[in-house]
Amino acid sequence: MKPASKTPDWVLAALEERHQQNLMRRTITLESPQVPHAQIASQDYTAFCSNDYLGLANHPSLIKAMNDTAETYGVGGGSSHLVCGHLAPHQALEEALADWLGYERVMLFSTGYMANLGVISALADKNRPVVQDKLNHASLIDGALLAQAPLRRYLHGDVASVQKLLTKSSAAGLLVTDGVFSMDGDIAPLAELSQLANQYDWMFMVDDAHGLGCLGENGRGCLSLEGLDSASLPILVGTFGKAFGTAGAFVATSHDYADYLTQFARPYVYTTAMSPAVAGATLASLQLIQSVEGQERREKLARHISYFRQRMQSLPVELIPSNTAIQPVVIGDSKTAIAISEQLKTLGIWCTAIRPPTVPVGSARLRITLSAAHSDEDLMLLCDSLEKVLTAKLLSAKRLNPM
């Protein structure tokens, strides 16, 4: 019998280092739908860590649309969009998104990560640099690395830092930012960035994964909040796994850029299209987002955000300025953040501690995310629980470090 292969020492050493630093990641299994009152490990919790901001992931209209679409078009895409995988539900969704956002074309991708990899690796190269916010999502950074493009990262949200980098660059390239930053919940200064991109003749790209559906007129996200359009924001990426409650992603752009990406965006060219059933469910989600019900859900979410921030003001933690569904409570060190997360679980609150390298060292946090599906009672339970746990933490710290 052939002996079992030995795990390399460097793999074991890397895992041990993660253990020692309280940074080990583990998968949890949800035993219920993606709803606020979730079941995990046979226990009931009120969850505050899902990106299902509008509470659509388990909406009956989406479930019906998925089932109806599957009955007509099946479940699998079968091929890439460019071979024979572009079905009628994909085309209908692309056209509806383009009309909603005011762009000439929309292209669907399997995930937001692949959309960002595809766009940046196609548009940037050794002669076309990339300038990005320091807190951009990993997929945006990885897109530049895949392109082997010169990469410079500006101070978070700092327009002067952007201008300095653009001025020093010997060639025009791609300026990239998140719309809403996934770990901080703040919004990029998109109007000013757009002006700089235009002034220096740079391409401008925004990933608005966490803004679309939740923010702006008709849920059109940061594009609407900042008064931008397809001319001032030529490349817009959005995802369906957040406010839309489904899965997949898209790029909204011009005919010329779309034609170019169709030729050179490898994750688009060489990936099987998303399930047509998911496309059908996403179209139903878009219709909900544009409806009266969608507006009511956005208004409810805004009330939750206001209530949460008002309640948190008196507590001994750093609350990052954010008017979005992402409400980070910065704890500091990873061990303490994990301990607080575990204490909250004993009170029926599920909120995962986020640690480096996802966030900078020394800024481990509870990334609390609010949803329109939460009730007022859910928000009260969350705030009461945080008040109890964080106040106890402050008293303990005073006992350990008396004046």
Any idea which residues carry the catalytic annotation?
182, 210, 242
Any known ligand binding at 137? Answer: yes
Q: Which amino acid is at 16?
A: E
Query: Tokens for 236?
Result: 């817009």
Whole-Å CA distances, 74 to 77, 209, 250, 278, 356: 8, 27, 21, 10, 41
d(CA 243, CA 215): 10
Quote the DSSP letter at residue 125.
B
The string over 181-205, giving b where at least 16 C-beta atoms fall within 10 Å of a residue's C-beta and e elsewhere, is bbbbbbbbbbeebbebbeebebbbb
d(CA 235, CA 207): 9
Quote the DSSP letter at residue 180.
B
Any known ligand binding at 182? Answer: yes
Whole-Å CA distances, 229 to 50, 191, 211, 226, 256: 29, 10, 15, 9, 17
Torsion on CA atoms 265, 271, 276, 282, rounded to nearest 10? -50
Any known ligand binding at 19? Answer: no
Quick one: CA dihedral 327, 330, 333, 337, positive or negative? negative
d(CA 398, CA 388): 16
Classified as helix, coil or strand, 374 is: coil
C-alpha 323: how far from chain center = 15
8 A C-beta contact, residue 296 and residue 153: no
Any known ligand binding at 113? Answer: yes
Any known ligand binding at 239? Answer: yes
Peptide bond before residue 357 is cis, with ω within 30 degrees of 0: yes
Burial class for 236, CB neighbours closer than 10 Å (0-12, 13-18, 19+): buried
d(CA 265, CA 110): 13
Query: Tokens for 203?
Result: 């391409």
Return binding residues for substrate: 25, 137, 358
Return binding residues for pyridoxal 5'-phosphate: 112-113, 182, 210, 239
Return binding residues: 25, 112-113, 137, 182, 210, 239, 358
